[in-house]
Structure 1
Amino acid sequence: MFELDRSAILEHPRLRFLTDLVPVHEHLDNIEKFIRICFEEQGWRVAQAGRVVALRATDQDRLSSAFKASLYLGKYNDMANRDRFLRSMVAAGHSYEPIRGETVLFLYIGVAKPVYDHLITYTVGRPTRIAGGQRANVPWGFELPVEARHPEEYEEELERIREVIRLAKQERTEQMQAARAKLPVGYVMPPFLLEFSEEALIKHVFRQRLFERGAQGATVEVVSDMLKACLAIDEEKWTFLIEYHGPHIQQWQKAMRTLRKERLSLRQLAEMENLSPEEALDADLYDLLMATVGKLPPSMWDRMR
């Protein structure tokens, strides 16, 4: 039976919840109850990672993509072959049509507005967006930036959120749609839903926000939770897709561009790693390339840390 990991949300070190104004615990109880009724009891495999819950992955047991990949390849006598798409299409660099229409529905709890803004930039392959917090629902609190050096400087932001709730919900002097203009950027949105096609996840969302360097810290954390939730649902599929789209791809591209431009010899690569030519001959060539011409410069966020 599915149970929300409340500690991953309520005890997050950068989150400040306004539990005195918002019945957060009651809301979480209800969300947990209806995840069971609406998803788990209907046969969907639900997985939580941190502040993200994967409610529904449509390619259950990879049978939908198995059928579509078999039809694509004309293999009618074995249409439940779960490995065909991964090993005969992904590995060969062929079409991703079998998972283009397969989606994962994510519920985000305790996530601030900047991360939401980063995720809704993906419109292709995102069929669902349910963000009640962009209407009349009250914010749940405030999230300190990952890069914050003086957390005490952000206490006034919580008071700004309290003032918005007071104006809109307690005194009713302003509509929430108007009062929310006073909210700080980092307010914690009420739970929201985003759904992505699996192709969009692996080729765009995970690549740009996780595999490539430079994404904002909180976004990296939440997108990492999304990937962990996918792995919990189908570890083999997502491990295989990461192999063909993961963070090492950027290093490969840099290594090949550098080698093409510089025309380096094995001796020169060895010198970069302080190896003798003899040692280089016995070294793992892949590791040597990644440590030299494939080494990436630090991102802006790395420099700030």
Structure 2
Amino acid sequence: MFTLDRSAILGHPRLRFLTDLVPIHEHLDNIEKFIRICYEEQGWHVAQSGRIVALRATDEDRLSSAFKASLYLGKYNDMANTQRFLRSMVAAGHSYEPIRGETVLFLAIGVGKSVYDHLVTYTVGRPTRIAGGQRANVPWGFELPVEAKNPDEYEEELERIRHVIRLAKQDRAEQLQAARAKLPVGYIMPPFLLEFSEEALIKTVFRQRLFEKGAQGATVDVVTDMLNACIAIDEEKWKFLIDYHGPHLQQWEKAMRTLRKDGLTIRDIAERLGVSLDEALDRNLYEMLMETVGKLPPSMWEKQR
């Protein structure tokens, strides 16, 4: 039976929840109850990682993509072959049509508005966006930036959120739709839903927000949770896809460009590593290239840390 890991949400070190104004514990109890009724009891494999809950992955047991891949390749006598898409299509660099229509529905709980803004920019391969907090639902608190050096400096932001809630819900002096203009950028949105096709996830969302350096720290945290939830549902599929689209691709490209531009030899690589040529000849060439010509510069966020 699915149980919501509240500690991963309420115990998050950068989250400040307004439990004095918002019945967050009651909301979480209800969300957990109806996840069981609406998803788990209907046969879906629900998986939580941190602040993300994957409610529904449509490629159940990988059979839908197996059927579609078999039809695509004209293999009618073995259409439940769950390895065919990965081994015969991904590995060969062929079409991703078999998972283009397969989606994963994510529920985000305790996630700040800035992260939502980063994710909602993706429209290709995103059939669902449900964000009640963009209407009249109250914010749940404040999310400290990953880069914050003085957390106490942000207490006033929490008070601004309290003021907005009181203004709209207690004093009824303003409608929340108007009062929310006073909210700080980092307010915690009420739970929201985003659904992406699996192709969009591996080729775009995970690549740009996770595999490539430069994404904002809080967004990296949440997208990491999204990927880990996918892995919890189908480890073989997602680790296979990561092998063909993961963070090492940037290193490969940098290494190949440098080797082509500078015409380096094994001796040059050995010198960069500070080892003798004989040592280099006995070492793993791939690892040496990744340590030298494939090494990426630090991102803007890493430099700031």
Relative to the length of structure 2, the TM-score reads 1.00
Per-residue Cα deviation, 1:42-99 (whole angstroms, up to 9, x for no partner): 0000000000000000000000000000000000000000000000000000000000
In the alignment, what sits opposite 2:43? Answer: 43
**Which amino acid is 1:117 matched to?**
D
In structure 1, distance between residues paired with 2:4 and 2:50: 10
Q: Does 1:233 align with 2:233?
A: yes
Q: Write out aligned runs for 1:1-305 (5 A).
A: 1-305=1-305
Q: Secondary structure at the match of 1:138?
A: coil
Per-residue Cα deviation, 1:134-181 (whole angstroms, up to 9, x for no partner): 000000000000000000000000110011001110011100100000
In structure 1, distance between residues paired with 2:124 and 2:89: 22
Per-residue Cα deviation, 1:119-142 (whole angstroms, up to 9, x for no partner): 001000000000000000000000
Structure 2 gaps of 5+ residues are none
Instruction: For residue 241 of structure 1, report the CA deviation from its aligned partner.
Output: 0.2
In structure 1, distance between residues paired with 2:285 and 2:120: 41
Aligned-residue RMSD, C-alpha: 0.4
In structure 2, distance between residues paired with 1:253 and 1:121: 26
Per-residue Cα deviation, 1:221-250 (whole angstroms, up to 9, x for no partner): 000000000000000000000000001111
Q: Secondary structure at the match of 2:129?
A: strand
Instruction: For residue 275 of structure 1, report the CA deviation from its aligned partner.
Output: 1.3
Per-residue Cα deviation, 1:257-293 (whole angstroms, up to 9, x for no partner): 1111111111111100011111111110000110110
In structure 2, distance between residues paired with 1:258 and 1:43: 50
Instruction: For residue 188 of structure 1, report the CA deviation from its aligned partner.
Output: 0.1
In structure 2, distance between residues paired with 1:257 and 1:70: 37
Structure 1 gaps of 5+ residues are none
**Which amino acid is 1:24 matched to?**
I
**Which amino acid is 1:93 matched to?**
G
Per-residue Cα deviation, 1:19-40 (whole angstroms, up to 9, x for no partner): 0100000000000000000000
**Which amino acid is 2:106 matched to?**
F
In structure 2, distance between residues paired with 1:54 and 1:170: 35
In structure 2, distance between residues paired with 1:98 and 1:262: 41
In structure 2, distance between residues paired with 1:6 and 1:27: 11
In structure 2, distance between residues paired with 1:246 and 1:279: 29
**Which amino acid is 2:296 matched to?**
L
In structure 1, distance between residues paired with 2:127 and 2:263: 46
**Which amino acid is 1:142 matched to?**
F
Instruction: For residue 304 of structure 1, report the CA deviation from its aligned partner.
Output: 1.1
**Which amino acid is 1:245 matched to?**
H
Q: Secondary structure at the match of 2:20?
A: coil
In structure 2, distance between residues paired with 1:20 and 1:282: 64
In structure 2, distance between residues paired with 1:281 and 1:141: 57
Corresponding pairs, count: 305
In structure 2, distance between residues paired with 1:43 and 1:283: 49
In structure 1, distance between residues paired with 2:7 and 2:281: 51
In structure 2, distance between residues paired with 1:235 and 1:280: 35
Relative to the length of structure 1, the TM-score reads 1.00
**Which amino acid is 1:249 matched to?**
L
In structure 2, distance between residues paired with 1:283 and 1:72: 42
In structure 2, distance between residues paired with 1:166 and 1:29: 24
